[in-house]
């Protein structure tokens, strides 16, 4: 396993510098256009009496959105204290409404017929695949494929289709390879970034359980670059020439790898089986063919599924491992529990995982309001303006001291008491996470194998700051934790 996949030109910093230079060059022109318009607005004027609007910062339309992007959790907690459960801000001329209580997004969905998830999906599809014309694919994924996922990813579906068996088999093989290389290493250790350690092995298990053994596993380095470049790909600068060129090349190689994976089956003209493929992916492919997608469009759709199945699992596993490495007592207790049992349904691990799900971060569900809408939640009215983007940020709930005592502290035992309210990082309503059961099993399986087989040690600074980086929490790109891995003593 490689310890680093980046050259300088592919580094996020390289692109950040390019973005910064471009922004500095165009900024004065943009300001001169926008400022006169802004001055005509009263700073906190709003057409909406129900949802308070955060006043503009020093630089109109920029300051608050930067604050939100930099640390969404801090942002949400600060303004929730000031304004209550929902508030909005103006950014680049459009409204972003932030809802922080569980139930609000589902209520919006029920009470407002025109709440639209497709813009967020189209943005994600474009960012992840580079395929611009993607309405057909996002529609197909959000309707027919979603109906199949609900069944296949249910607890009984997972057992019936052996989803965890193929995940565990490949994860075991991946750790066997690591063990073999550690036993040959001169001092029996290897050093690498924690994000890579987590992502690489989860990638092997997860891809095997979805796509089977013919999946092009060698595309991992491109996945790693793609998944750590999302902030750039979601930004308005993504399509500028010279921005993120090497990251775009990795993204393209991922699509091409998936096209090669599909090629024989796609062109065979009959609906046979790809060796070891999950019934979920097989059925999705049959639908792609029936809907006359091109091979590239089908590969792009698989890339979206691949990312959806892995990104959040890896982020939460990283978060949990990082907390464990900061607390030697917890590490010891988790290991003793793992060694004294055979499966992975262990109470302390379950509780620590729930605490990671509470304190970790996922890209927040995002919707667009297609027409002016008023909804009522717990007897209170909220008005959402046409065109507003609604972001549902669960940190408002997860860090509410009335729900969780001392919410800022990671308490691994918090959920040993099974009556404690469970974290809610799974979204809600129509788009609720179908992979919730599978994700929890995968995190626990990974943690148990690591605890049973390896010793992990932080190299260098022992106390690191764990903070959420960006709206799309980027584990690989923002990782600062270097670890030493050896076989368990
Ligand atoms: C810790 C891991 C995970 C977390 C925190 C998580 C979180 C979420 C969230 C917040 C949503 C709602 C998105 C929205 O409303 O826009 C969602 C939807 C979904 N997730 Fe997960 N997820 C995880 C793992 C998985 C896995 C492993 C799979 C499948 C293998 C999966 C499949 C799905 C599907 C199919 C949807 C529905 C998407 C839609 O309706 O557009 N998730 N997930």
pLDDT tens per residue across span 181-220: 999 998 999 999 999 999 999 999 999 999 999 999 999 9
Q: Report the alpha-carbon distance of residue 392 to residue 288 in Å, rounded.
A: 31
Is 210 near ligand 1, meaning CB less than 6 Å away? no
| Complete edge-to-edge strand list for the sheet that includes strand 482-487 | 189-193, 482-487, 454-458
User: Hey, what are 418's tokens?
Assistant: 């099974």
- pLDDT tens digits for range 244-279: 999 999 999 999 999 999 999 998 876 678 999 999
- pLDDT tens digits for range 74-106: 888 999 999 888 898 887 777 889 999 888 899
Tell me which residue of 81, 116, 117, 111 sits closest to 377, measured CA to CA. 111
Bridge partners (DSSP) of residue 53 are 88
Is 313 near ligand 1, meaning CB less than 6 Å away? yes
Q: In angstroms, what is the span from residue 434 Cα to ligand 1's centroid? A: 6
Out of 58-72, 404-418, 420-434, least confident range: 58-72
Is 482 near ligand 1, meaning CB less than 6 Å away? no
Which is more confidently placed, 222 or 345? Answer: 222
Under 8 Å between Cβ of 50 and 388: no
Tokens 């971060």 found at: 361
- Number of Cα atoms under 13 Å in the Cβ half of residue 228: 23
Q: Report the alpha-carbon distance of residue 341 to residue 125 in Å, rounded.
A: 42
Is 431 near ligand 1, meaning CB less than 6 Å away? yes
Tell me 248's DSSP state: H
Q: What is the number of the ligand 1 atom nearest to the C-alpha of 117?
A: 16
Is 444 near ligand 1, meaning CB less than 6 Å away? no
Q: Which pLDDT band, with edges at 50, 70 and 90, does 371 fall under?
A: confident
Bridge partners (DSSP) of residue 7 are none
Q: Which pLDDT band, with edges at 50, 70 and 90, does 470 fall under?
A: low
- Number of Cα atoms under 13 Å in the Cβ half of residue 342: 0
Q: What is the number of the ligand 1 atom nearest to the C-alpha of 439?
A: 27
Q: Report the alpha-carbon distance of residue 413 to residue 263 in Å, rounded.
A: 49
Is 396 near ligand 1, meaning CB less than 6 Å away? no
Q: Which pLDDT band, with edges at 50, 70 and 90, does 14 fall under?
A: very low
* 433 has binding-site annotation: yes
**Chain mean position to CA 237:** 21
Q: Report the alpha-carbon distance of residue 129 to residue 233 in Å, rounded.
A: 10
Q: Are strands 454-458 and 482-487 parallel, antiparallel or unpaired?
A: antiparallel
Q: What is the pLDDT of residue 63?
A: 66
The enclosing H or E element of 257 equals: helix 245-267
Q: Which pLDDT band, with edges at 50, 70 and 90, does 33 fall under?
A: very low
| pLDDT of 24 strictly over 50 | no
Which whole number is the average pLDDT over 332-347?
A: 94
Q: Per the confidence metrics, is the pTM higher than 0.85? A: yes
Instruction: Tell the residue nearest (CA) to atom 38 of ligand 1.
Output: 431
Contacts of 236 (CB under 8 A, 6+ apart): none
Domain residue limits, the chain: 8-487
User: Hey, what are 275's tokens?
Assistant: 């060796």
- List own/partner pairs for 107-111 with CB under 8 A and 24 or more apart: 107/375, 107/376, 107/377, 108/367, 108/369, 108/373, 108/375, 108/384, 108/390, 109/367, 109/429, 109/430, 110/429, 111/373, 111/375, 111/376
Q: What is the pLDDT of residue 115?
A: 80
Q: In angstroms, what is the span from residue 302 Cα to ligand 1's centroid? A: 15
Q: Report the alpha-carbon distance of residue 262 to residue 285 in Å, rounded.
A: 9
Q: Report the alpha-carbon distance of residue 371 to residue 427 in Å, rounded.
A: 22
Which is more confidently placed, 98 or 115? Answer: 98
Is 149 near ligand 1, meaning CB less than 6 Å away? yes
Under 8 Å between Cβ of 94 and 368: no
| pLDDT of 479 strictly over 80 | yes
DSSP secondary structure letters along 261-291:
HHHHHHHSSS----TT--HHHHHHHHHHHHT
Instruction: Please provide the average confidence, as pLDDT, over all residues in the chain.
Output: 85
Q: In angstroms, what is the span from residue 142 Cα to ligand 1's centroid? A: 12
Under 8 Å between Cβ of 238 and 127: yes
Q: Which pLDDT band, with edges at 50, 70 and 90, does 34 fall under?
A: very low
Instruction: Tell the residue nearest (CA) to atom 41 of ligand 1.
Output: 431
Contacts of 214 (CB under 8 A, 6+ apart): 261, 274, 275, 276
Out of 349-363, 410-424, 471-485, least confident range: 471-485
Length of the chain counted residue by residue: 489
Domain 8-487, second-level architecture? Orthogonal Bundle (1.10)
Q: In angstroms, what is the span from residue 125 Cα to ligand 1's centroid? A: 15
Q: Report the alpha-carbon distance of residue 203 to residue 11 in Å, rounded.
A: 21
Give whole-number Cα distances, 223 to 81, 234, 321, in Å: 39, 16, 21
Is 362 near ligand 1, meaning CB less than 6 Å away? yes
């Amino acid at each position: 396993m490689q310890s680093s996949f980046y050259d300088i030109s592919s580094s996020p910093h390289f692109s950040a510098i390019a973005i910064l230079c471009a922004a500095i060059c165009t900024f004065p022109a943009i300001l001169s256009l926008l400022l006169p318009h802004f001055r005509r607005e009263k700073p906190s004027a709003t057409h909406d009496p129900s949802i308070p609007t955060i006043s503009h910062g020093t630089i109109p339309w920029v300051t608050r959105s930067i604050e939100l992007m930099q640390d969404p959790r801090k942002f949400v907690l600060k303004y929730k204290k000031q304004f209550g459960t929902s508030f909005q801000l103006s950014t680049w001329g459009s409204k972003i409404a932030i809802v922080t209580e569980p139930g609000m997004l589902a209520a919006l969905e029920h009470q407002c017929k025109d709440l639209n998830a497709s813009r967020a999906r189209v943005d994600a599809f474009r960012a992840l695949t580079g395929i611009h014309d993607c309405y057909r694919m996002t529609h197909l994924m959000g309707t027919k494929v979603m109906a199949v996922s609900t069944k296949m990813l249910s607890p009984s579906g997972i057992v019936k289709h052996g989803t965890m068996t193929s995940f565990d088999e490949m994860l075991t093989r991946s750790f066997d390879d690591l063990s073999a290389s550690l036993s040959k290493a001169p001092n029996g250790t290897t050093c690498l970034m924690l994000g890579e350690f987590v992502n690489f092995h989860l990638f092997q298990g997860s891809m095997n359980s979805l796509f089977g053994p013919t999946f092009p596993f060698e595309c991992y380095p491109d996945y790693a670059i793609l998944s750590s470049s999302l902030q750039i790909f979601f930004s308005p600068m993504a399509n500028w020439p010279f921005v993120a060129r090497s990251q775009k090349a990795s993204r393209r190689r991922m699509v091409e790898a998936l096209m090669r994976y599909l090629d024989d089956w796609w062109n065979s003209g009959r609906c046979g089986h790809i060796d070891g493929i999950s019934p979920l992916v097989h059925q999705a492919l049959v639908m792609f063919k029936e809907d006359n997608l091109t091979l590239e469009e089908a590969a792009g759709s698989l890339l979206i599924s691949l990312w959806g199945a892995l990104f959040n699992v890896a982020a939460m596993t990283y978060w949990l491992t990082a907390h464990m490495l900061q607390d030697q007592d917890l590490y010891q207790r988790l290991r003793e529990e793992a060694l004294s049992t055979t499966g992975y349904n262990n109470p302390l691990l379950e509780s620590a995982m729930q605490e990671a799900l509470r304190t970790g971060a996922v890209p927040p569900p995002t919707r667009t309001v297609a027409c002016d809408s008023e909804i009522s939640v717990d007897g209170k009215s909220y008005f959402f303006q046409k065109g507003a983007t609604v972001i549902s940020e669960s940190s408002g709930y997860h860090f509410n001291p009335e729900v969780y005592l001392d919410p800022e502290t990671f308490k691994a035992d918090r959920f040993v008491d099974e009556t404690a309210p469970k974290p809610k990082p799974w979204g809600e309503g129509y788009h609720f996470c179908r992979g919730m059961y599978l994700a929890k099993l995968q995190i626990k399986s990974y943690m148990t194998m690591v605890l049973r087989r390896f010793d992990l040690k932080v190299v260098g600074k022992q106390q690191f700051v764990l903070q959420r980086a960006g709206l799309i929490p980027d584990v690989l790109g923002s990782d600062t934790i270097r670890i030493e891995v050896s076989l368990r003593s």
